[in-house]
Amino acid sequence: MASRRKTVPRAVIGRLTKYLTYAQDLCEQKVEWVSSAELAEALGLTSSTVRQDLLHVDFYGIAKRGYRVDGLRQVLTRFLGADAAWNTVVVGAGNLGKALARHGEFARRGFRIVGIFDNDPRKVGSHVNNLRVEPIRDLPGSIVSKKAEVGIIAVPATSTQAVADLMILSGIKGLLNLTLTHVLAPRGVKVVEVRLTASLWELAHLIKSDAGRAARPARG
């Protein structure tokens, strides 16, 4: 009952998404069992961490065999809400916003794009997939009428908080922020930030700070 007692730490949640992906792959390959050691090796973790993490979602294996792949997939799917259908709006119809609206994986994985919005009059009225780009003044009404729960922010950084506030006022439940600017939200509204440029900075730093060291042989 660990999952009922306490909230699961974000670091653990992040790894759970990895286990889910891996379990999905194994399922397709008709593999039935997986050990904590295999999961750990495939995902760059320790087997101890894997076992502790699965405790968080009350998923138990069997000594000597490991974990049932299909059960793992099911438990994680439910835990992460990947079985639900989430109505999702995209704000910003630039390169990134359009790409996300068209990104087939989102729809396949349960995030149905029900609207795309922009303030640029040259974009409003154009079509992305089978959606018409709407002006941002229609965003609040759309969130309500289409029962959107998730909002994706893909606008220029200067409009980030304004767009977030508008969605929050309209009752959005969660935001995926793709801009560099941090979003402030009340506790009831969840925010996950995917900061592409910042990720490249992180990568650049890691490359730079490793440059001094001697080149090492491969993998492990």
> Interface with DNA includes 61 (CB under 7 A)?
yes
Structure tokens at 195: 């900061």
Amino acid identity for residue 7 in this structure: T
79 sits near its own copies (criterion: CB under 8 A): yes
Q: What does 115-146 look like in DSSP terms, one character per residue?
A: EEE---TTTTT-EETTEEEE-GGGHHHHHHHT
SS3 148: coil
22 binds, among DNA, its own copies, none (CB under 5 to 8 A by kind): its own copies
Residue 5's H or E segment, with its range, is: helix 2-5
- 131-170 binders of its own copies (CB under 8 A): 149-150, 157
x/- letters, 108..137, toward its own copies (CB under 8 A): -xxx--------------------------
Q: Which of 90-110 are b and which e, b meaning 16 or more Cβ less than 10 Å from the residue's Cβ?
A: bbbbeebbbebbeeeebeeee
What is the 3-state composition of the chain as percent helix, strand, coil, each rounded to the nearest 5?
Answer: 45, 15, 35
Question: Out of its own copies, DNA, none, which partner does residue 112 contact, by CB within 5 to 8 A per kind?
Answer: none
Most distant pair of Cα atoms in the chain: their distance: 63
2 binds its own copies (CB under 8 A): no
Binding span for its own copies by CB under 8 A among 59-67, 119-127, 132-140, 191-199: 191-199
Per rule CB under 7 A, is residue 51 in the interface with DNA? yes
4 binds, among its own copies, DNA, none (CB under 5 to 8 A by kind): none
The residue range among 9-17, 29-37, 114-122, 133-141 that interacts with its own copies, by the rule CB under 8 A, is: 9-17
Query: Could you say which residues in the range 5-44 bind DNA, by CB under 7 A?
Result: 9, 11-12, 35-37
Nearest-approach distance from CB 187 to its own copies, in angstroms = 5
